[in-house]
Every structure is written in C-alpha cells, then in structure tokens.
Structure 1
C-alpha cells in the first residue's frame, strides 16, 4: 500500500474525483517504465497486495476475453478501451 499512498499523496491536490484522473495517473506512471522497474515495485509490495493486484488483473483480463468472444453483456470495443497496456 506504500506505493499507492505515495502516488496518492503526490497527486492529491490535482485530483478531481473523476475516473479519468486515475487512468491518466496510471498511464503516466507506467509509460516508460521497464519490466525491471515494475518488478522492483512488486518486490516492495506486501504479499496481500500482490494477490490483490494479480486477482484484479485476472478478473479484468477474463472480462475482456469474454467480451471479445461475445459472452455476456459487455461489448468488445468497451473492453478494449479499458486496457492499460
């Protein structure tokens, strides 16, 4: 949670409460990061944070896959818009 707290405190005064704030911050932070830098962030996380992160990734990736295959109510173009990579 330290990473999230640090990011939040860094951007706190610029946040408007809009979902686009989160997207812009995440995209900005990930842009230009190497795999090694990302792994370093992960190594600094607590085990529960890693499980939460990986769980959210798997759930979102499965939602996107289901939408791409036309399963359920989500449309593929909506699912593709939400990808951060």
Structure 2
C-alpha cells in the first residue's frame, strides 16, 4: 500500500496548524491576572456588545425642539 506524498505533506501541515491553534497562550497583565484566550474573547465580546447597544441608542435618538428664538429652532 502506497500513500501519496502530497497527501502526507498536506496531512502534516494540517497537524501543525491544529497544534498552533490548540496551543495555550497566556499573558500576565502587571502580575494582576492572566490574560488567556478565553479572557480575551470575553473582553472583546463585552466591548462589541457595548458598542452595538450604544450605536443603537444613538441612532434612535431624535433631536427635540426646545424653543423658538428669533425664528430659529434650537435643538438638544
């Protein structure tokens, strides 16, 4: 039984990529806490959610007419 050399090379490359992706990388932030992949993704998720909610509130606000002064409108 012979195995194609290209197939073996591709399989070896896939194994290397899996090893890199599964490798646990973590940083210590000022020796206060460890910033690993899970913590980083949690922070990114929080920031993205905050920005989306803020943009939705900003887009839904309409300026309200407060008063007329000298035939001009002032808005808030």
**Structure exhibiting the larger radius of gyration computed from Cα positions:** 2
User: Greater helix percent: which structure?
Assistant: 1
User: One fold, TM greater than 0.5?
Assistant: no
**Greater share of strand residues, 1 or 2?**
2
TM range (shorter): 0.3 to 0.5
Higher relative contact order (CA 8 A, sep 6+): 1
TM-score between both structures, scaled by the size of structure 2:
0.35
